[in-house]
Structure 1
Amino acid sequence: MIGNRVARGVAKVAGVALTAAAALVVGPQAASAQVAAQAPAVACQAVGRVSGSVAEYTLYDDAGYSGACITFYRLGNCTATTGDVNGLYNLAGWGWDNRAGSVHTYSQCDVMVYDARDCPRGGAHSTWVDQSADLRLGGVNWQNRATCVLVS
């Protein structure tokens, strides 16, 4: 009787040890996947975000809408035409001078990027862009070149 108790106790301890060993083998991978699943997406730096504002456009460091990002906000949608100016941004003020690799617009906004800080008076500029996963537009490479953004 005492021998059976000892045998069951040893078996129980061995079972716990095997379970713990299995958790050590699978545990770090499972824990890493669980942490990754729970980790929030990297938030974009926000400029002008106040109550009632809407996103205007987002610049991303890399092509494919990836990497660090910055989103500019405005009160109300842009106009549906590109014949007027709804916003003008010198990107150096936010550390985004010559940095953008892709752009996404929102709220009926379009953007034109310039390679000069005194836009729209000087420098070369792109065509109007609604969104671009790669700022190498039509043979002109605007990746890491945008210094100023005109919004319409």
Structure 2
Amino acid sequence: MAIRTAFATLAALSCLVGATALAAAPATATAGADPSAQHCVVNLDSQKVACAADPQQARQLSDVGPTALTIAIFYAGTGYTGATHTWVQSRRCTPGYDAEWQWDNLAEIGWNNRLSSVRTYNRCDVKLYDGFNFKGASSVWIDGSSNLGKIGSGWNNRASSVKFS
């Protein structure tokens, strides 16, 4: 967890540096961007984050290989709009809800209480928690939603940690 925290902190700090840092960053490094960099990719296998002005550029800057699978895309707006955060890893999710991957602090990557819609892929679902480290209330397992405010007691702009299965 300390390595993931260090990578996420580096990514968040590099976002403050500006577009110059993004242009100079090697393709496999954790990269940040200026405020116009609205799209990020998280490799759940390596815990590295890469951000850019568009989703394709963020994926190119990330350390994901050609076989990496997208398991979920978070959107800042309802209706699958706004900034995105794409979660990738090397294998499909299994049918059981056993939390195969997780992120215990969405604030580390700038997504605390920011998620408004989500799409899932490769048999994966997400479970949201309103506290860090999977504390507090949790959602049901979500296969996808264009408006998280309509899930349970409302999950629009509420998630602080997430599990994937």
Identify the TM-score tier after normalising by the shorter chain.
0.5 to 0.7
Q: Match of 2:115, SS?
A: coil
Q: Provide TM-score, normalisation by structure 1.
A: 0.67
CA distance in 1, matches of 2:73, 2:115: 10
The reply on whether 1:76 has 2:84 as its aligned counterpart is no
Residue number in structure 2 paired with 1:112 = 127
Residue number in structure 1 paired with 2:99 = 85
Q: Match of 2:108, SS?
A: helix
The reply on whether 1:65 has 2:80 as its aligned counterpart is yes
CA distance in 1, matches of 2:100, 2:120: 13
What percentage of residue pairs aligned between the two structures are identical? 38
User: After superposition, where does 1:130-145 map in structure 2 within 5 Å?
Assistant: 130-145=143-158
Residue number in structure 2 paired with 1:45 = 40
| Structure 1, unpaired ranges of 5+ | 1-41
CA distance in 2, matches of 1:43, 1:95: 11
Residue number in structure 1 paired with 2:160 = 147
User: What amino acid is the match of 2:92?
Assistant: N
Kept in 1: contact 2:140–2:152 (CA 8 A): no
CA distance in 2, matches of 1:100, 1:114: 11
Cα displacement string for residues 50-81 of structure 1 (whole angstroms, at most 9, x for unaligned residues): 11210011110111000111001011101012
User: What amino acid is the match of 1:87?
Assistant: W
User: CA RMSD of the aligned region, Å?
Assistant: 1.6
1:125 to 138, 156, 159: 138
Q: Provide TM-score, normalisation by structure 2.
A: 0.62
Structure with more contact order per residue of length (Cα contacts < 8 Å, sep ≥ 6)? 1
Post-superposition shift, 1:45? Answer: 1.1
Cα displacement string for residues 16-44 of structure 1 (whole angstroms, at most 9, x for unaligned residues): xxxxxxxxxxxxxxxxxxxxxxxxxx973
Q: Match of 1:103, SS?
A: strand
Post-superposition shift, 1:138? Answer: 4.2
CA distance in 1, matches of 2:123, 2:38: 22
Q: Which 4+ stretches in 1 moved above 3 angstroms?
A: none
Cα displacement string for residues 103-139 of structure 1 (whole angstroms, at most 9, x for unaligned residues): 11111100010001111xx210100100000001345
